[in-house]
């Protein structure tokens, strides 16, 4: 059968109807994957899944990337070490059963400090608060297209050092030393503009704003330029707000989107299970690809 899909915004996002992820066939998966490549974020509602079924579908996308399990609350799903718990729920001893609490998570791309960043991430909604906790996405190809020609041309010549000191909640990562000097902290450089490996589409690749630095520029100049670029990257015209419903599964491309999360009341519970697809590409810029 042909899957039905509805675009959610001109910049990114599509809702796919008529798919049962617990029983998805190979032809249906290929259709789903093709829709995802075009729209960068796909939403599949009313999914009746088990953790085993969620993991099985996730593995159709590629090799799973186990969660980092760094620090308190960063835990895998029991019996499923490749799945990650995102939750503010606490156990009887008062320990978090998952990660990221109830606060806001700033705009970011997952684990962009790796040489081969994760290819995709996916969330499945299990418990939801009465209000808040929405997830926002920003389309980086659309953001690049929205930039003035001279700024886009400049961006194609630049790299960013993606700092790995802090996570999206602002917490120090396990094993890292606190450092707010981007010129001296640990990080991996990636082109500001990359070629999406599977489609050839050009897209911004920004990672996260905190501790980002453009090597070769004085820090103050780098900050000014990045603030301008980030203004285009998070503009309303290129963003999508997802308001969760129980049973939602949302899959996004980590190479072509950024995402953030709204805070929610600490006395309410939000639990999602997450899978992540291991990165398989070293990111290249259009300039380097043309030179090759």
Res 69: pLDDT: 58
From CA 223, how far away is CA 151, in angstroms rounded?
15
Q: What is the CATH number of the domain that holds 267?
A: 3.60.130.10
Q: What is the pLDDT of residue 169?
A: 65
Other CB atoms within a 10 A radius of the CB of residue 182 amount to 22
Q: Measured at the alpha carbon of residue 197, what is the angle toward residues 192 and 203, in degrees to the nearest 5?
A: 35
Range of the structural domain that residue 185 is part of? 4-291
Among left, alpha and beta (phi > 0; psi -120 to 50; other), residue 63 is beta
**Could you tell me the two tokens for 161?**
């050092």
HEC states along the chain? CCCEEEECCCCCCEEEECCCCCCCCHHHHHHHHHHHHHHCEEEECCCCCCHHHHHHHHHCCCCECCCCCCCCCCCEECCEEEEEEEECCECCCCCECCEECCCCEEEECCCCCCCCCCCEEEEEEEECCCCCCCEEEEEHHHHHHHCCHHHHHHHCCCEEEEECCECCCCCECCCCCCCCCCCCCCEEEEECEEECCCCCCEEECCCECCCCECCCCCHHHHHHHHHHHHHHHCCHHHEEEECCCCCCEEEEECCCEEEEECCCCCCCCCEEEEEEECCCCCCCCHHHHHHC
pLDDT given for residue 290 in this prediction = 58
Q: What is the pLDDT of residue 237?
A: 98
- The tens-digit pLDDT sequence of the chain (292 residues) is 689 999 999 999 999 999 999 999 999 999 999 999 999 999 999 999 999 999 999 999 999 998 865 555 568 999 999 999 999 999 898 888 888 889 988 999 999 999 999 999 999 999 999 999 999 999 999 999 999 999 999 999 999 999 877 776 677 777 777 777 888 887 899 999 999 999 999 999 999 998 899 999 999 999 999 999 999 999 999 999 999 999 999 999 999 999 999 999 999 999 999 999 999 999 999 986 655 4
Instruction: Give the pLDDT score at 181.
Output: 82
pLDDT for position 1: 67
Instruction: Report the number of distinct structural domains present in the chain.
Output: 1
Report the candidate in 247, 245, 246, 255 with the shortest Cα–Cα distance to residue 277: 255
């Amino acid at each position: 059968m042909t899957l039905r899909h509805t675009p959610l915004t001109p910049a990114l996002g599509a809702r796919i109807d008529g798919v049962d992820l617990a029983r998805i066939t190979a032809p249906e998966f290929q259709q789903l994957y093709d829709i995802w490549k075009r729209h960068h974020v796909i939403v599949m509602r009313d999914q009746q899944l088990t953790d085993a079924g969620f993991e099985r579908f996730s593995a159709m996308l590629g090799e799973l990337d186990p969660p980092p399990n760094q620090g308190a609350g960063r835990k895998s799903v029991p019996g499923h070490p490749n799945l990650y718990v995102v939750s503010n729920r606490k156990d009887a001893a008062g320990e978090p059963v998952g990660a990221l609490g109830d606060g806001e998570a700033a705009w970011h791309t997952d684990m962009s400090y790796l040489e081969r960043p994760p290819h995709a991430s996916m969330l499945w909604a299990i418990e939801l608060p009465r209000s808040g906790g929405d997830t926002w996405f920003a389309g980086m190809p659309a953001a690049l297209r929205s930039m003035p020609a001279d700024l886009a041309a400049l961006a194609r010549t630049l790299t960013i050092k993606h700092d790995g000191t802090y996570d999206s909640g602002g917490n120090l990562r396990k094993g890292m030393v606190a450092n707010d000097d981007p010129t001296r902290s640990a990080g991996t450089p990636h082109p500001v503009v990359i070629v999406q490996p599977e489609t050839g589409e050009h897209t911004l690749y920004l990672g996260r704003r905190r501790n980002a630095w453009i090597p070769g520029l004085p820090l103050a100049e780098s900050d000014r330029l990045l603030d301008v670029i980030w203004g285009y990257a998070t503009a309303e015209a290129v963003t999508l707000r997802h308001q969760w419903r129980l049973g939602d599964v949302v899959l996004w491309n980590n190479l072509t989107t950024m995402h953030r999360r709204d805070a929610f009341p600490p006395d309410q519970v939000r639990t999602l299970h997450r899978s992540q697809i291991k990165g398989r590409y070293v990111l290249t810029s259009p300039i380097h690809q043309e030179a090759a």
